Chains A and B, each alone.
Chain A
């Protein structure tokens, strides 16, 4: 079958007889395939979107009628008001923003440097380094959480923002993703920069970074989302009612009489900053995310 391809990679033109008969035979099959395709896509899209739509509708209902099924007209803000008074938003936001910014920028920087080292040099131990990074990507965090906790407590960083940040400053995921971005970087540009006598440090910051800035921004947003949504580590290292958003929201859920209105509003509010960041660079963020699966 592959021999059929001509050197340009195109299949040869079909024989005239086939050209005449095929479309006529295929049309009904193609139309039913399109119907099946659209239906399946709509179902998958609806499954993903419906819970989120329901969340938004519920937040704007009056607190006494959360389970109503009509549209919330006029929209009520009582749930949002309750959510604002149910959690210490000031410290929660300050801590969460600080942690997510430091962690994501740290991961981006260490990842960029490591990916640069892996992509632009051939050196002894390169395959080993790659193996060490890839394996660390899959080591379950729960397996190492106790010794991490002990180490952080010895450093005197328990119950602090720094304690949450420090162990997360490097991520195998960031290294691997950036390696993919850099391996696509045009070699001619690098060669030209080298011929101009630029040092490797200057090449990184003056040639590579400006050229992949949009991808870096998208990756930064992805890493920010991951750090913002992180739960287990902050829970272990900094478990207080005003530590980070995820821990705060969980505390609202684990009470005897859950105020779902306030809880849903809080969950929605905690997601809004991410939604805003995502909308800034929507296409690029999805592209950056999706590329992680392209090996």
Chain B
């Protein structure tokens, strides 16, 4: 196509000496044409810049001040004092540990189990699959707050469905959400219920995109189910798995656990369910300590980036290899 276009352009440039203004006009038009994609990108990029990157920079700046959010007072520079104070708080380390458990739990419910279920469900056909997909998608519709409501009813210590079910099995019931030993696990289970079905759907789609001919060829080659899983499913499914790690673990830790904690436990009992995001939220909007909250935000963001950047880089590389 470009080869054909070249002579046409050459013919044009032979006409060129006739008009100098034409060349300027054409250059201007070419410049404008070059701007077109940027114009389409402008609204989204401006919004992302103003509401994500600019606040991110502000967070760094606010981590070096003391301020109580009141518009009548102004922030006072305190250097690294907020960080020093933060690192001395035992709550910080407890919250980091809790966050680690939440992420492990989300990885189990949002990645590992869905891969297992999806791999087994492979080949479910027709109408059964459509119905099954419809059921699995339902928790996506249920807001985290509605899920918290529903589960606080199911987990109620006296007469709740979970305890009566356990009673039938001869297991003693617990006060799940008010016992420091069980509350974090209960929150993980609720979050797990929210992410499980959706993740299974994503895994099933990822598996469906792998052509059956790979499996047929491998079977003919004498590869057993385990070898087929390890040598076909794992490599070809890894972009999907990484996407789930990003959305069902990294994103869900912030977006899903927060409303559950806020609605069900308020971070307690005895700070047992406070994760890093809830901690920095309470610094900011309960204690109105902007400096402390921002210092915590910076620390958590850097720690988060340490995990998220490799995931994103790998995701990018895998999707480019296959796309």
Chain A residues at the B interface, C-beta cutoff of 8 Å: 1-2, 4-5, 9-12, 14, 18, 36-37, 40-41, 44-45, 47-49, 51-52, 54-55, 58, 66-67, 69, 109-111, 113-114, 116-118, 120-121, 123, 126, 129, 132-151, 153-154, 167-170, 172, 175, 200, 225, 228-229, 231-232, 235-236, 246, 249-250, 252-254, 258, 260, 263-264, 266-268, 270-271, 274-275, 278, 282-283, 285-286, 289-295
Minimum-distance CB pairs A-B, first 6: A117-B40, A170-B47, A293-B202, A67-B159, A229-B143, A147-B55
B76 contacts A by Cβ under 8 Å: no
Question: With A11-B213, A139-B301, A275-B141 in contact, do A295 and B240 touch (Cβ < 8 Å)?
Answer: yes
Given contacts A40-B120, A129-B41, 10 further A-B contacts (CB under 8 A): A12-B220, A44-B113, A123-B38, A144-B58, A147-B55, A170-B51, A232-B258, A267-B145, A271-B146, A295-B322
Most chain B CB within 10 A, of A48, A134, A266, is at A48
* Residues on B with beta carbons closer than 8 Å to the beta carbon of A225: 140-141
Among A48, A120, A150, the residue within 8 A (CB) of B197 is A48
Q: How far does the alpha carbon of A246 sit from the alpha carbon of B164 in the complex, in Å?
A: 29
Is A286 a contact of B135 with CB atoms below 8 Å? no
Is B206 a contact of A264 with CB atoms below 8 Å? no
- In the complex, what's the smallest C-beta–C-beta distance from A201 to chain B, in angstroms? 9
Among A36, A110, A289, the residue within 8 A (CB) of B198 is A289
* Residues on A with beta carbons closer than 8 Å to the beta carbon of B173: none
Q: How far does the alpha carbon of A47 sit from the alpha carbon of B54 in the complex, in Å?
A: 42
Is B220 a contact of A11 with CB atoms below 8 Å? yes
Say which size band chain B's interface belongs to.
35 or more
Q: How far does the alpha carbon of A138 sit from the alpha carbon of B154 in the complex, in Å?
A: 32
- In the complex, what's the smallest C-beta–C-beta distance from B261 to chain A, in angstroms? 11
| Sample of 28 A–B contacts (CB below 8 Å) | A1-B218, A41-B121, A44-B196, A47-B196, A54-B154, A109-B43, A114-B45, A116-B40, A117-B38, A129-B41, A135-B312, A139-B301, A140-B277, A142-B281, A143-B304, A146-B55, A146-B58, A150-B69, A153-B71, A170-B44, A170-B51, A229-B143, A229-B145, A231-B262, A246-B145, A264-B153, A267-B145, A295-B322
